[in-house]
Amino acid sequence: MSGHSKWNNIKRKKEKTDAQKAKVFTKIGREIAVAVKEGGADPSSNSKLRDLIAKAKANNVPNDNIDRVIKKAGSNDGKDYETIVYEGYGPSGIAVIVECLTDNRNRTAADMRHYFDKFGGNMGQSGCVSYLFSESGIIVIENNSLDEDEVMEACVEAGAGDFEFQDDIVEIVTEPSELSSVREALSQKYNIISAEVEKIPSTYVRIDDAEIANKMNLLLSHMEDNDDVQNVYHNWENMEDFED
């Protein structure tokens, strides 16, 4: 799992402005609404909703906001969103997967194609890059002077598959189907920063040209700022070398 940029993306999101944080609230709200309509409004019997409530709280979404979205979705009020996944290549052949929840697929498709074209990439057909990624549950916990052996024991007991100990965080890998149970077990002992099923690339591509890197950063930024976009995955290996 070493090399994937999830934690870098989290840190970048934590530094966003209030307006951008509001976008994060909106995106999580859409996910919650879909989860409620698919599995009901009771988190005790809807593990997806339970995970999303934890995600919302980790992103400092107020409880009132969470309750309002659940109530609205449970009453079948509001918009219906569909999941659409776009794939393509950024500059230098960086593989990009964009997961969207949208109430207007024509608008979203036009936006994604525009971003790819504007910043030196091209949008491809379904499946053109997804074979380069596999899914894993990734749990990030805060490392506030934790004991590595104790964390390892806790991860094994919780059913995690692997973990990586870093200076400020610990990244824990699970099977996607085990994410919820492992998160709940570890949350009894540790501060969970994030817990989501992620797409992890099997191969990575480096960018050594600053101008190309700038285009790739712009591509990712525009996608992440789009209200319809939930997640953006890529296999850019040295992204941190070109961050501000």
**Nearby residues of 157 by Cβ (< 8 Å), 6 or more positions away:** 185
Q: At the top level of CATH, which class does the domain 133-201 belong to?
A: alpha beta
pLDDT at residue number 1? 36
pLDDT band at 78 (very low <50, low <70, confident <90, very high): low
Strand order in the sheet with 82-89: 122-123, 82-89, 95-102, 229-234
Instruction: Dump pLDDT digits (tens) for 201-214.
Output: 999 999 999 999 99
Instruction: Dump pLDDT digits (tens) for 187-200.
Output: 999 998 888 899 99
82-131+202-242 against 133-201: fold identical: yes
pLDDT surpasses 90 at 240 = no
**Nearby residues of 90 by Cβ (< 8 Å), 6 or more positions away:** 96, 116, 119, 120, 121, 215, 216, 219, 220, 234, 236
Instruction: Dump pLDDT digits (tens) for 14-30.
Output: 555 566 677 888 899 99
pLDDT band at 10 (very low <50, low <70, confident <90, very high): low
Q: What is the mean pLDDT of residues 96-111?
A: 96
Tokens 């379904």, located at residue: 126
Give the fold, CATH level 3, of 82-131+202-242.
Alpha-Beta Plaits (3.30.70)
Q: At the top level of CATH, which class does the domain 6-74 belong to?
A: mainly alpha
Range in 12-26, 34-48, 67-81 the model is least confident about: 12-26
The ranges assigned to domains in the chain are 6-74, 82-131+202-242, 133-201
Contact 112, 123 (CB under 8 A): yes
pTM value is 0.85
Half-sphere exposure of 192 (CA within 13 A, CB side): 25
Average pLDDT, the chain: 88
Cβ neighbours, 10 Å, residue 221: 14
pLDDT surpasses 60 at 9 = no
Give percent of the chain above pLDDT 70.
91
